[in-house]
Chain A
Amino acid sequence: MNKQITLTINGEARAVEVGPTDILLDVLREKLGIKSPKIGCERGDCGACTVLLDGKSVRSCLILAIEADGHKITTLEGLSRNGLTPLQESFLKHSSFQCGFCAPGIVLSATELLAKHPHPSEEEIKESISGNLCRCTGYKPIIEAIAAVSNARRKSV
């Protein structure tokens, strides 16, 4: 039986009718037109579908849409409503991504990290994106971009 749920997506409350087995990723993409979370493996391995659920990174392919009822969801589209975040600026400057398919997930995982730990160690940075597979870059320019944001913050304090 279908049910209407309400999700606060990137700051906007949106109502949508979902079935009991509908996956959050599919509802975001097909019913709500939010396309930045990507379909890479549909079993929680690759992290391309990462979104923030109440600020915590989750794999939207492993969550039923109905479980997200009443919760806040942030996708990559929601980060730059007031201009690029310092993290996005840093990714741009470091040419961090190649094909870019993993970027929506990695930008969100790193956003969560910096919200929790403004000055993470390199190990913490690596761990924060360890659930997001990237086949192109060797991760190095991604890690450097995240570290640069942390270092810039330290300098400005």
Chain B
Amino acid sequence: MTATKFVGESPTRIDGLDKITGAANYVDDLSFGPNLLHAEVVESPYAHALIKSIDTSAAEKVPGVVRVVTGREFPHRFGLYMRDRFIFPTDRVRFVGEQVAAVVARDAKTAKRAAKLVKIVYEELEPVLDLAGALRDNPTLVHPDLGKYPRCPWFFPQAGTNIAHWRKTRKGDIAQGFKEADVILEDTYTVPRYAHCAIEPHVIVGLCDLAGRLTLWSASQSPFTQRHVFAQALAPLGLSHKDIRVVTPYVGGGFGGKAGVSMEIIGAALAMMVKGHPVKVRWSRAQEFYNTYQRQGVIARIKLGAKKDGTITAIEHTLHWDAGGYVEYGANVVNAVGFSATGPYRVPNVKIDSVCVYTNLPPGGPYRGFGYSEFHFGLESHITRIAKKIGMDPVEFRRKNAIREGDTLAYGAEMNASGLHEAIDKVAAEIGWGRKEVSKDPNRVIGKGFACFWKSPAMPPNAASSAFIKFNEDGSLNICASGMEIGQGYFTVMAQIAAEILTVPVSKIRMEAPDTDRNAYEWQTVGSHVTWGCGNAVKAAALDVRSKMFEVVERALGLSRDTLYVEDEKVKCRARADFELPFRDFVISGIQTEHGNFIGGPILGSGVFMPEFTSAVSDPETSQGGHPNVHYTVGAAAAIVELDKQTGRMRVLKAVLAVDAGKAIHPELVKGQIVGGMLQGLATVLYEDIRYSLKGKLLNANFTDYKIPTSMDLPGEIVPIIVEVPQPDGPFGARGVAEHTMIPAAAIIANAVDDAVGLRLKSLPITAEKVALELQGIAYDDVKGAYMGLCFAGHLDKYDFHTKAAKK
């Protein structure tokens, strides 16, 4: 690859100044004047109930109340991949906190007061709160109409059950695979739900003006997808895509929680009811926890076979997901795992069942890692265990089985270029693998844990990116694309890509957050795909700009475009060494000829990227025949954990993570993703501990009781390592890395705890309390009390994976 000047450097973030001066505007910072209305939703107190009547009359009489809205006005379903929700339900509620009505008032306090006066009569139904209840014989059905919902063609709901989707992947001969194994290990793992905890709560302001134009200012990762979902849901009101504009300023953290459409649909609907007035819906921190998306809980059974020499012969991986009351997005998480739950290994014989199950808990959905963090906990625990069982070093076992370019994936396609072996070796060296460490404190022991990881973006096969680039008079550039700067550094990376092609320095490039009227289309900023997908579109747009500059120079000055090139913001010519034309001299006003006229004009470029090689069409019984994933990003990680045998308290002395970025366009930003993602991942293992009452109410919907890490909770050291095996179809070889950095966190801790004290914990989180109890021989399941933390209320080992519903 030729040397690059801007790509591979780490320039100052182009959004940096906005953020350290207070100039950065987030949705709630925008001013809408004294006509702004405020909305408060009326929430279901029940996890599962029929709505018998709604009386809004008392609320409507409160002075300052402008409108009370219920599902009567909006009998329309919405949803990204499956339309299984109403904007406001009229027949039944499916989780505690679900919106049933909204009060729109002149001020927020009045809206809140009036919302309490909306009288809703419910008939309580038996709630489905865990997976055993959802999959038992003759269960209560969360969605009796499941078979009728419009959905994407790659979802397979099982009408008459609580199974919303079932992804089956079959490769080779599973029975033969286990027959060839010398050792077979089978066990169950479970991971509870988690909350995203972006510091900015969801907020949307909607304005439908008196001419019928609907504008939404939304804290979102997905402006164009939101516009599309809004247009689908509001089509019965006569709106089409051109009537809807979504503006997304800076967003204060997403982590998947602001992907797709969750509470934002309420803002769009209410705006239609109070035309001419902007109306704001802002979620409280508690609503942020229970009425956006949560990471789904999962219980997983893994059966793994290996030969004595360490070769994996077969894997059977069954995952039951607690997907909540609505799965319009969450079922796609389940789908993604169904293709990839082998982990980054060569496995000749594969049977994966990834089953999406409705429950009466808050809706599941995308969360950084998109299901991969969840299944890697069990799988990477299991890999270490089977290696030990055959007497092989767990790192050596991984090295032996690690997937390589060209290997056949579980769904039949070929593995992309991969630096997995390099990542394994570098992490093992950095963590001092094989070197036992001893604590100075006799009460403490030190253990090391290792894991590999992989992840692919989960995208529909037609998830496209595009970009416009336009010059300004002084030769500076604006890039108008619609990825979101959610903190990962997207603006800066896109600017580096354009800079590399056009030689315009990053400091002369401006990127603004999207506005669907003005910026080019982007599917969504999810799946760690924008560096790759949108980066390709920006690169194409920059090449288009360059070719248009050459075309103008050729027409105006008669220099053949084949002889032209760009350098230092000038067009130069290989045939004429003395020729150089600064961009600023012609990119707006054109080039004056000897006749006095001007040739050219404002230079505008556009670029499009579509992953044309992908396909979601495959055999539903085996998943063979399609190409659902564009590529995988791989890596490895390890931790050194010091554990206090008396209190169970764990301190991460060192964590190391290596990820194959293909090409790190901005190495400092990649390292920032590794450090931030690793801490987020460690928090899901060590502190974050979600709890529901036995009525399905979330009990710790705040930062006092749901602990996310502070600056005092850092590991002793986090060492980021970048591996670069280029992705052939990535911009300058790049592929995404952002989600991946939290995926191995749970397994490296679980493996380190086992290494330290011989305790194998099979459920998350791994809190000090749990470790201390287990070290004293007390099973956590016996003493966990009357709170639901997990997606299965009973003992892990007693979960039945083969009920009638789950047996098909």
A residues neighboring B (CB under 8 Å):
29, 33, 35-36, 38-43, 45-46, 48, 75-77, 79-80, 84, 88, 91-93, 95-104, 107, 125-127, 129-143
Contacts and interface: CB of A to CB of B under 8 A. Distances in A.
A153 to B, nearest CB: 19
B238 interface: no
Contact of B17 (A41, A92, A131): A92
Given A95-B12, A98-B672, A135-B197, A88 B704 contact: no
Contacts of A76: 21-22
Contact of B253 (A41, A93, A99): A99
Interface of B: 10, 12-13, 15-22, 24-26, 28-29, 31, 196-201, 250-255, 282, 284-285, 486-489, 668-669, 672, 675-680, 702-704, 708-712, 714, 718
Contacts of A35: 22, 25, 29
A138 B675 contact: yes
7 shortest interchain CB distances as A-B pairs: A98-B487, A101-B252, A100-B19, A99-B487, A36-B22, A45-B703, A76-B22
A40 B21 contact: no
Contacts of A132: 711
Contact of A133 (B250, B708, B718): B708
B703 A142 contact: no
Contacts, number: 156
Contact of B703 (A38, A39, A46, A80): A46
Contacts of B675: 137-138, 140-141
23 contacts: A38-B199, A45-B702, A48-B199, A84-B21, A92-B12, A92-B16, A92-B20, A95-B669, A98-B672, A99-B250, A99-B487, A100-B487, A102-B199, A104-B22, A130-B710, A132-B711, A135-B197, A135-B199, A135-B253, A136-B253, A137-B676, A138-B680, A139-B710
B285 A100 contact: no
A12 to B, nearest CB: 15
Contacts of B668: 95
Given A41-B285, A99-B486, 20 more contacts: A35-B29, A36-B22, A40-B201, A45-B285, A48-B199, A76-B22, A84-B20, A96-B20, A97-B19, A98-B253, A98-B487, A98-B672, A99-B250, A99-B254, A100-B18, A100-B19, A101-B253, A104-B22, A139-B710, A140-B718
Contacts of A48: 199
A142 B16 CA distance: 13
B595 to A, nearest CB: 49
Given A38-B200, A40-B199, A133-B199, A97 B20 contact: yes
A36 B201 CA distance: 15
Contacts of A134: 199, 711
Contacts of A129: 711
Contacts of B199: 38, 40, 46, 48, 99, 101-102, 133-135
A138 B200 CA distance: 17
Max chain A CB contacts within 10 Å: which of B28, B31, B489, B676?
B676
B31 A101 contact: no
A98 B198 contact: no
A122 B82 CA distance: 50
A100 to B, nearest CB: 3
Given A99-B486, A99-B487, A130-B710, A91 B703 contact: no
B672 A135 contact: no
A40 B608 CA distance: 37
Contact of B252 (A42, A95, A99): A99
B712 A127 contact: yes
Contacts of B198: 99, 101, 135
A91 B15 CA distance: 12
Contacts of B16: 91-92, 95, 97
A19 to B, nearest CB: 10
A42 B284 contact: yes
Contacts of A125: 711
Nearest to B219: A101
A139 B253 contact: no
